[in-house]
Amino acid sequence: MRIAVARVSLIAATAGALIAVESGASDKAAVDVDMSQYVVRADRVLPQPESWRYVLVPAGVLERGKKVVVASGYEVLSNLSEKNTRVFVEELQRRQLAGTILWPTIIEALPREPMIVVLDRTRQAFMPADVDVAQSWESDAISTPEHTSEGFVSFEVADAGPEMDSRLTAIGRSSSYGTMGTRYGGDVPMKSGTFDGAFDSPKLMRPLSAGVVVLRARDGVVATLINADSPAGMSRLGEEMIAAGLSKEAAVFGMRSMSNPPPLWFREGMGWLVYTSEVSRKKIAFAGVAVDFTGQLVPSLLTVFQKTEKLSFNEVMLAGAFTHYCLYGNNRKLAPNFIQFMERLEREPVSEQLFKECFRRTTKKMEVELASQGRGMAAFASMELKGRLPELPAFSIREATQSEVARLKADAFITQGLWDQALDVLRIAYWRGEREPEMLAVLATLEERVGSVERARKLSKALMALPKPPARILIVEAKLRYRKALEGKAEGEKLTVAQIQPVLTLLAQAVKAGQNTETLWAFFSEVVLRGEGKPHASTGGYLVKAAERYPRNSIIREAARKAEGAL
């Protein structure tokens, strides 16, 4: 039995078949690039350097037979104490492991590049005001990084939790809910899914306040800003709860970013179950939290199903309780009904009649059952893994370099669309003499974007000369070469194969290096459309897949139509 959670599943493959090139991706190089200084034409007092801690949390790779699940890593910038930073990162690692085992399809919808996390207790990190709005991120569905790359860590487990895995990887068989890392060592003996287990201490949880965990994404960069400060008169938030909030936001965001995402109520309900999952050194338990409506008005289930915008907390709890009940309640007899319901929702609008046909009861009757479920121990039935869990990889906490501070803050600005602020923080670091390649690659990206072509060329030339250029500079170099090819061309005049081939080769390298975004594929499509004749068959195949992944992008669709004749 399989429940579909992802709506379009593109074949995972390396981008090597796109164009036969070697990857130009790099690990973060421990070198500085020799560059000339910018000329500052006005007096300016530079702000004092900022003091932050830096942690790199490598990606986790779960190997289950031939199936490989990759959970993206994190780059953490923290101004909490070293002790509190360590508690947060350890909890984040445990939730990273839990995700690869218990909700792998959601995990696979997230990017392969490390997510940026700014853990801020002093409000240095520009917390945005519009905390309710998140932009859809373009998921990494067309290529898969090589799992043998340096830095990957994984572990093997003997099919832990097969029931949960199947439920979260297929709501509707006929449909398609569709870098860096660390390899956990050894085959780990675990007790797989036990649905009759209960939490040692049943608990009620409340959500984090709006603005505590804010996730943003743009152009393939995902950043989470965490306000770790405590308002006056309120107890301090624990790092464990903050990490739970981050895992919930990432899960909801992963589902939302799918090309044809599941309904709002499912995303929010599943996110609540992820948030309330318990992780520790000896146990991982999914969805083992009470949902108690005692003394409260139970929301209308049909109204929750019909909503396309923000749900109230009680509506989120109801959506979570409904999902939990269908997965675990009544001896799991409702799972087939749930499958049918989700399959039909892909083709039909939700209605009372549709619900009744699938579940053989009205939504009102289901509301009564859910309220009753919340008062009994059945509410605590969960998917648990007990025993000797794998050792999580060691990590180090150190003082962040000013290049790292500038790069990560700039990327966080980029996710909010604050391009000028991002460029400013990078230029300040450059004026101070910072020359780390990854920072310079982001600076070059922004210089090219704002039209500072000569600055971008100087940066790109120096970075492309490195043995392993940063992945992002490959896109900058491709754009610069495309600009050069267009010089002197009339509007609409086609480029030769010799002119576009170097550009496409660089973009293929960038895809293979993990820079796999809608923005990149739109640019790739623009180059293909400007070229003479039809693209190579391998290029055409990937453009067709890109069009499936981004069906609303007209440029990608047009390039795919041109490419289809080459297949």
The model's pLDDT over 437-492, given as tens digits with 9 standing for 90+, comes to 999 999 999 999 999 999 999 999 999 999 999 999 999 999 999 999 999 999 88
* Cβ count near 32 (within 10 Å): 13
pLDDT tens-place string over residues 61-79: 877 777 888 888 999 999 9
Which spans in 347-433 are helix H? 352-359, 363-375, 402-415, 419-431
Q: What angle do CA 75, 120, 116 make, to 5 degrees?
A: 20
Pairwise CA distance, residues 16 & 143, whole Å: 9
pLDDT for res 166: 43
Q: Both tokens of residue 55?
A: 């942690």
CA proximity to 153, closest of 57, 89, 61, 69? 61
Q: Both tokens of residue 501?
A: 């081939």
b or e along 505-525 (b: 16 or more beta carbons within 10 Å of the residue's beta carbon)? bbbbbbbbbbbbbbebbbbbb
pLDDT for res 111: 81
Pairwise CA distance, residues 243 & 228, whole Å: 11
Pairwise CA distance, residues 360 & 351, whole Å: 13
pLDDT for res 261: 87
pLDDT tens-place string over residues 180-197: 333 333 333 333 333 333
Task: For residues 532-560, give the mean pLDDT.
Answer: 89
Burial class (CB in 10 A: 0-12, 13-18, 19+), 551: middle
The answer to whether 24 touches 471, Cβ cutoff 8 Å, is yes
Whether the predicted pLDDT of 380 surpasses 60 = no
pLDDT for res 197: 32
Phi, psi of 8 (to 5 degrees): -130, 120
Q: Which sign, positive or negative, has the C-alpha torsion 546, 75, 408, 479?
A: negative
Q: In what order do the strands lie in the sheet with 60-64?
A: 67-71, 60-64, 153-157, 187-188
pLDDT for res 332: 81
Whether the predicted pLDDT of 131 surpasses 60 = no
Please give the residue that has the higher pLDDT: either 374 or 194: 374
Q: Which residues 6+ apart lie within 8 Å of 184 measured at CB? A: 60, 61, 62, 97, 153, 154, 155, 390, 391, 392, 393
State CA 192 to chain mean position distance.
27
pLDDT for res 553: 92
pLDDT tens-place string over residues 390-422: 778 889 999 999 999 999 999 999 999 999 999
What's the pTM value of the predicted model, to 2 decimals?
0.78
* Cβ count near 82 (within 10 Å): 12
pLDDT band at 389 (very low <50, low <70, confident <90, very high): confident
Amino acid occupying residue 254? G
pLDDT band at 435 (very low <50, low <70, confident <90, very high): very high
CA proximity to 349, closest of 404, 307, 287? 307
Task: For residues 540-567, give the mean pLDDT.
Answer: 86
Percent of the chain whose pLDDT exceeds 90 = 46
Pairwise CA distance, residues 387 & 189, whole Å: 7
Amino acid occupying residue 195? F
Please give the residue that has the higher pLDDT: either 89 or 549: 89
Which spans in 129-191 are helix H? 162-169
pLDDT for res 44: 63
What phi-psi label fits residue 56: left (phi over 0), alpha (psi between -120 and 50 degrees) or beta? beta
pLDDT for res 291: 62
CA distance from start to end of the chain = 35
Task: For residues 308-315, give the mean pLDDT.
Answer: 90
Pairwise CA distance, residues 74 & 92, whole Å: 9
pLDDT for res 224: 94
Which of 186-200, 298-312, 426-440 is the least confident region?
Answer: 186-200
The answer to whether 437 touches 33, Cβ cutoff 8 Å, is yes
3-state secondary structure 252-266: HHHHHCCCCCCCHHH
Whether the predicted pLDDT of 290 surpasses 60 = no
The answer to whether 472 touches 441, Cβ cutoff 8 Å, is yes
Task: For residues 75-87, give the mean pLDDT.
Answer: 95
User: What rounded mean pLDDT belongs to the chain?
Assistant: 77
pLDDT for res 394: 86
pLDDT for res 314: 87
Q: What angle do CA 407, 411, 417 make, to 5 degrees?
A: 145
pLDDT for res 283: 80
pLDDT tens-place string over residues 1-58: 333 333 322 222 223 323 322 223 334 445 666 666 655 545 667 888 999 999 999 9
Q: Both tokens of residue 120?
A: 């801020």
Report the length, in residues, of the chain.
567
Q: What domains appear along the chain, each with residue ranges and CATH number?
A: 15-386 (no CATH), 416-564 (1.25.40.10)
pLDDT for res 81: 94
Pairwise CA distance, residues 10 & 538, whole Å: 15
Tokens 């487990």 -> residue = 157
The answer to whether 548 touches 564, Cβ cutoff 8 Å, is no
